[in-house]
Amino acid sequence: MAGSRRVPEGPAPDPAVQRLRIRYAKRGRMRFTSTRDFQRALERAVRRAGLPVAFSAGFHPHPKISYANAAPTGTASEAEYVEVSLSRQVDPASVAPLLDASLPEGLDVLEVADAADLPGALADHLQGSLWALRFRAGQSLPDLAGMESAVAALLAAPEVLVTRMMKKGPRDIDVREAVLDLTLSSSPVAAVPAGPGDVVLLATVRHTTPTVRPEEIWAALRQVGGADLPRPVSTRLRQGPVVGGTVAEQLSG
């Protein structure tokens, strides 16, 4: 019939009645997983854990899972976030061990909370990140004074531009604008395995558009410090609201 529309057969999916906010870690070799790799792993884990995940309507229903500000491929993280909508109420505390056991080793569920108990949308709270950049000891790593000089030069600069290749071509990004603080750690940092002679740099970064990545902080340090710094191994330690120039975790952890 002219003007008629096709509609999916069968009953409409059950509505979402609960959203779970999940904090997870990306460790070891899992830091090389892409966002899409994690999405596939999580969808499988949700099914294995038997969670009553809610689905969208239409001809191609998909699980209602929201991803926010994933860490770049190649970086580790202790503060990744995702929200899963459910069609039945569950106890958030019971979900963490079930989901963690269903994910590959290195993708570790740290905390699960009911999003209804947390004010505001998840994306609105992810205002900044605390990153640890670990520089391995070696011939190309400057001495501590040289590292301190590079850090001081970056913080003193009014602007430090690095170029990122975007879909529409190269774009200059001001790293200095995003960096709230940059310090050399004077003590071991949890979740960052550092060897003798390694240097760990802590970077507090405000999320700008686009978000500055650890590799761009590295490029900015090389630019202003005039030293051939080795590429660091980066770990996101926290992600959440920016309060007084520091980053608070969105969930308590």
DSSP collapsed to 3 states, 162-217: EEEEECCEEEEEEHHHHEEEEEECCCCCCCCCCCCCCEEEEEEEECCCCCCCHHHH
193 vs 2: which has the higher pLDDT: 193
Give 90-109 pLDDT, tens digit per residue: 999 999 999 999 999 999 99
Q: What is the mean pLDDT of residues 107-130?
A: 93
The per-residue pLDDT for 253 is 43
Which positions ≥6 away from 29 have C-beta within 8 Å? Answer: 106
Residue after which a domain boundary falls, among 76, 109, 124? 124
Residues across the chain:
253
Q: Is residue 4 part of a domain?
A: no
What is the count of structural domains for the chain? 2
pLDDT at residue 2 above 60? Answer: no
pLDDT band at 133 (very low <50, low <70, confident <90, very high): very high
Rounded mean pLDDT, 144-163 = 93
139 shares a domain with 31: no
Are both 88 and 138 inside the same structural domain?
A: no
Nearest-CA neighbor of 109 among 69, 82, 72, 73?
A: 82
Domain shared by 156 and 91, yes or no: no
**Of residues 95 and 139, more confidently modeled:** 95
pLDDT above 70 as % of the chain: 94
Last residue of a domain, one of 60, 90, 124: 124
Q: Is residue 103, in this structure, part of any structural domain at all?
A: yes
Higher-pLDDT residue of 123, 176: 176
- The CB density around residue 116, as the number of other CB atoms within 10 Å, is 11
238 and 133 assigned to the same domain: yes
* Confidence band, pLDDT 50/70/90 cuts, at residue 205: very high
Per the domain annotation, does 162 fall within a domain? yes
Give the pLDDT score at 119: 82
**Cross-strand partners of 81:** 23, 68
Residue percentage of the chain with pLDDT more than 90: 71
pLDDT at 142: 79
Domain end call among 70, 101, 124: 124
pLDDT of residue 14: 76
Is residue 28 one of the residues assigned to a domain?
A: yes
Residue numbers of the domain that contains 52 = 18-124
Q: Is the pLDDT of residue 27 over 90?
A: yes
